[in-house]
Amino acid sequence: MNPDEPRLRDWIGRRESAEDSCDARRVADMAATLDLPAAPREGERLPPGWHWMFFNPMARARELGPDGHPRRGGFLPPVALPRRMWAGGRLSFPAPLVVGARLRRYSEILSVDPKSGRSGAMVFVVVRHRVFSGDALAVEEEHDIVYREAPAPGAAPAAPVAPPEAASVASWTRRVVPDPVMLFRYSALTANGHRIHYDHPYATGIEGYPGLVFHGPLTATLLMALAEGGLGRPLARFEFRNRAPLFDVAPFTLAGAPDGGGGALAWAITPSGALATEAAAA
């Protein structure tokens, strides 16, 4: 057993709470960032996934690590592995999150699971969030975070995962053209200082990526919008898993189709045709 494992698992059960407001100005800024023709107005329902721009504290400059994230410790466990990624999550929407409402979020660390695989050491952390819009529970979420080692110089990339056959005959598709301005603005709206999303020399020269990394939650937000548009109704549940990163170097595709049971399946597909994100909506 890794000697750090018991210490990291001490974080299981740790809780925190936060307050915010679903103010119309930030909502309008998100609509502009996503190039939408109009933003939800005061009293209207916030689209799913937009809640990720709230409850994000701005850490003091001296508290940041070299990657732009706050230094490890605090609410999340102090995992020493250098790469932190949004691996996926499961969400339900029992009530609307309303523009203009006061928001409260209660968070708890459900699990801390160190593992070792072909790519080296990893630590999986699951955080549960419950978001209230006024007095109504609006979002229940389990957020999956993975910490992992940086790849060794010259190491072969992970083998791509092929999308399911259904993706080739999707009922709904969208072509996404990522660019640095979109990624910078989304980072600003979500108070995400992680430099892989907006600092090209850092992303390519230090972390070895081919370009700026497209945000995992932004991919999920776009897939939720695709599923809602296809189904013609608000989502009750959504789950997703990020399988491979997306970058700002080329357009990529979102695809979705009814699942035959009243819900939908959806995918994000890399420019080379590999599976980037898989999702299911109900």
Domains and CATH numbers, the chain: 9-281 (3.10.129.10)
Amino acid 1: pLDDT: 41
Asked whether the CA dihedral 128, 219, 53, 213 is positive or negative, the reply is positive
Amino acid 58: pLDDT: 87
Q: Return d(Cα 127, Cα 108) in angstroms, integer.
A: 6
Whole-structure pTM value = 0.94
Q: Is 258 helix (H, G, I), strand (E, B) or coil?
A: strand
**Which tokens hold the place of 42?**
């005061």
Q: Rounding to the nearest 10 degrees, give the CA dihedral for residues 17, 70, 141, 177.
A: 140
Q: Is 205 helix (H, G, I), strand (E, B) or coil?
A: helix
Amino acid 163: pLDDT: 83
**Which tokens hold the place of 81?**
């592995």
Query: What is the full per-residue pLDDT of the chain (282 aa) written as tens digits?
Result: 454 566 899 999 999 999 999 999 999 999 999 999 999 999 999 999 999 999 998 888 888 888 888 877 779 999 988 888 999 999 999 999 999 999 999 999 999 999 987 778 999 999 999 999 999 999 999 999 999 988 766 666 677 887 877 777 899 999 999 999 999 999 999 999 999 999 999 999 998 899 999 999 999 999 999 999 999 999 999 999 999 999 999 999 999 999 999 999 999 999 999 999 999 999
User: 69-103 as b/e, with b when 16 or more CB fall inside 10 Å?
Assistant: bbeeeeebbebebeebbbbbbbbbbeeebbbbbeb
Answer yes or no: are the C-beta atoms of 72 and 79 closer than 8 Å.
yes
Amino acid 160: pLDDT: 81
Q: Return d(Cα 13, Cα 108) in angstroms, integer.
A: 6
Q: Is 16 helix (H, G, I), strand (E, B) or coil?
A: strand
